[in-house]
Amino acid sequence: MKGKILICDPVDNIMIEKLSEKFDIDNDPEITRDELLKRIKDYDVIIVRSRTKIDKDIIDNAKKLKIIARAGIGTDTIDVDYANEKGIKIVYAPGSSTESVVELTLAFAVIAARQIIRGVENTRKNDFTKLKGIELSGKRLGIIGYGRIGRAIANAFKAFNVSSMAYDAYPVDFTGAEQVSLDKLLMDSDIISINITLRKDSPPVLNEKELSLIKNDAIVINTSRANAIDPKAFLKILREKNIVYISDVFWHEPARFDYEFEMLKLPNVIITPHLGAQTKEAQKRIAIMTADNILKEWA
């Protein structure tokens, strides 16, 4: 007898192809939370991405659920502890979007350094005023979170003659970067790249004290988790200093609160709509790895 899968967010078709032999699949990428609460009781496996949050209430309604799969590199949208209590297995796709995130980080650094967004906005208004930027060459990159993606970013930036230092709260291999304290990284970096994973209830890594250490004219890049930063404290810092914040993640997507709307209006803030893994290649790798991990746990 086949198991039943509910797919709650858009995924590459290759995932459905790989799973269809052993599962009956309902693909409903626009399912609402209310619908999910009603329907989850009928499924053995649920597949989500960043849009769908799997919390205690949904897990309580999941009478047959054996596997929660996150088609991505993190599990912060899932109440992992409660799922574990209920004996539900969690699978995801670590490392599947590394190349895409590294390329986006490089692009962000160039965009911020050369004022490309402002330049494009100006020329759309037929304003061809020349804007002076900075070169990346010779600058220091500070990487917060030196896992697989952090190491790949350090290696990629070597092509720009950028040296790297890194901080990680856990013991990791610091090959390719100088290991430093978080305070030193924040004070000495010309470019800061945030590349950490967080649990749903994790406190920010960068609060007002840490954020105040970032030097004027620094570029802060975030392609991992908005919750790594205290947003209200950062809004204050962004108003006081000439820091460019360029991020692929936001606290709420779309924005909900006043501090978010205020930040979006700042000229030194550039936010993109969560594009990190949005390449054809990454989505295919994520789909294949997630499907393979589901099949391993189901066997």
Torsion on CA atoms 166, 172, 176, 182, rounded to nearest 10: 10
Q: Which of 125, 113, 70, 111 is nearest to 92 (CA)?
A: 70
Say whether both 83 and 132 belong to one domain: no
Say whether both 199 and 76 belong to one domain: no
Please give the positions annotated as active site: 225, 253, 274
Say whether both 122 and 200 belong to one domain: yes
Say whether both 57 and 105 belong to one domain: no
Say whether both 121 and 265 belong to one domain: yes
Domains identified in the chain, total number? 2
Amino acid (1-letter code) at residue 98: T
Say whether both 90 and 119 belong to one domain: no
Say whether both 54 and 152 belong to one domain: no
pLDDT in tens, the chain (299 residues): 799 999 999 999 999 999 999 999 999 999 999 999 999 999 999 999 989 999 999 999 999 999 999 999 889 889 999 999 999 999 999 989 999 999 999 999 999 999 999 999 999 999 999 999 999 999 999 999 999 999 999 999 999 999 999 999 999 999 999 999 999 999 999 999 999 988 777 899 999 999 999 999 999 999 999 999 999 999 999 999 999 999 999 999 999 999 999 999 999 999 999 999 999 999 999 999 999 999 999 97
Residue 128 tokens, joined: 């061809």
Domain that holds residue 69: 3-94+280-298
Per DSSP, the residues of the chain read --EEEEE-S---HHHHHHHTTTEEEEE-TT--HHHHHHHGGG-SEEEE-SSS-B-HHHHHH-SS--EEEESSS--TTB-HHHHHHTT-EEE--TTTTHHHHHHHHHHHHHHHHTTHHHHHHHHHTT----------TT-EEEEES-SHHHHHHHHHHGGGT-EEEEE-SS----TTSEE--HHHHHHH-SEEEE-----TTPPPSB-HHHHTTSPTT-EEEESS-GGGB-HHHHHHHHHHS--EEEES--SSSS--SHHHHHHHH-TTEEE-SS-TT-SHHHHHHHHHHHHHHHHHHH-
Say whether both 221 and 138 belong to one domain: yes
Say whether both 68 and 140 belong to one domain: no
Q: Which of 201, 207, 182 is nearest to 192 (CA)?
A: 182
Say whether both 88 and 207 belong to one domain: no
Say whether both 43 and 187 belong to one domain: no
62-74 as b/e: b if 16+ CB within 10 A: beebbbbbbbbbb
Q: Give me the CATH number covering residue 179.
A: 3.40.50.720
pLDDT of residue 199: 77
Say whether both 15 and 80 belong to one domain: yes
